[in-house]
Amino acid sequence: MGRLIEKTIDDVKLLGFSLAGEETVIAAPELNVCFDIGRAPREVISIDNICLSHGHMDHAAGIAYYFSQRAFIGNAAGRLIVHRRLAQSFQKLMDVWSDIEKHPSPGEVIGVEHLEDTPIRRGLFVRAFDVNHCDGALGFTLIEKRHKLKEEFIGKSGPQLVALKKDGIEIEDRAEVPLITYTGDTALGRFLELDFVQKSKIVIVECTFYDRDHKERARAGRHIHVDDFPRVCEALPDSKLVVSHITRRTDLRFAKRALEKTLAPRDLERTTILMERPPRPEKKRGPTGSLPASV
């Protein structure tokens, strides 16, 4: 069984692994974006865009290996999108590895700040926003641009529409459709008030602590405690929520029970734990009810 876990949420495929303090890497392969890089598992090497939430080792350790492996297998240079305060440091990291290996691993480091957009492909971009964790920490929202012909121009011919555009008339309404938001590591913060975050179809949000006695630890590390999660649900009433960043010390069954006790039924129904694997399919039994002899 592969280490990365696959989830399909609202027809969006997610592939990821997230254990607090060890590794976090969550990809949307069909959108060509990976949120954090963890230790650069092979399944994400072909993805062109890495959105790095912050520089802690469990989220960022694999970036040099990611660039190196892309060069090794002949892929075009990948892109690292990271807070502008950290961009120069990551470029220095790549320079050091180039000196060690005696050849460069091409890669583009793009520094961004709060509410700055970076194009991914035509009609798709990622918007960064500040979160409440450490210096240089960001969340990201993948947003699709859509164009729709204004009602008053429906039914006009192609040449008529071209003529209107030549006259400088705006014939289309432009809409932004937020697809996925990734908060990275963060405590509750004002990012939950951002319109594009609230309208996201899917929000991948950390919830690190579940023990009732660990609220102060959550506050000290600027993480979300399960008792904070109803406020996340309240701020994001229409989003599907994917919980990440549970620690290895927290049994998934314990975390699931804590969420069940804390959340309203409707909120629980739209919440998924990233690290919970789907149940294995039952092996087919023979006509007598016994397992096939080859098993």
* Tokens, residue 144: 């699709």
Q: pLDDT digits over 69-107, tens only? A: 999 999 999 999 999 999 999 999 999 999 999 989 999
Reported as type and span, the H/E element at residue 39 is none
Q: Are 204 and 183 a contacting pair, CB within 8 Å?
A: yes
The predicted structure's pLDDT at residue 17: 97
176-211 burial by CB neighbour count: b if 16+ within 10 A, else e? Answer: eebbbbbbbbbbbbebbebebbbbbbbbbbbbbbbe
Between these two residues, 126 and 150, which has the higher pLDDT value? 126
Q: What is the pLDDT of residues 214-267, one digit of tens each?
A: 999 999 999 999 999 999 999 999 999 999 999 999 999 999 999 999 999 999
pLDDT of the residue at 284: 61
CA–CA separation, 119 vs 142, rounded Å? 10
Residue 287 pLDDT class (50, 70, 90 cuts): low
Percent of the chain with pLDDT over 70: 93
Q: Mean pLDDT for the chain?
A: 92
Is domain 5-273 classified as CATH 3.60.15.10?
A: yes
Cα separation, 253 vs 265, whole angstroms: 17
Q: What is the pLDDT of residues 173-200, one digit of tens each?
A: 788 999 999 999 999 999 999 999 999 9
**Residue 286: its pLDDT value, please?**
57
Residue 212: strand, helix, or coil: helix
Neighbouring residues of 214: CB distance < 8 A, sequence distance ≥ 6? 225
CA distance 293 to 89: 59
pLDDT of 1 higher than 60: no
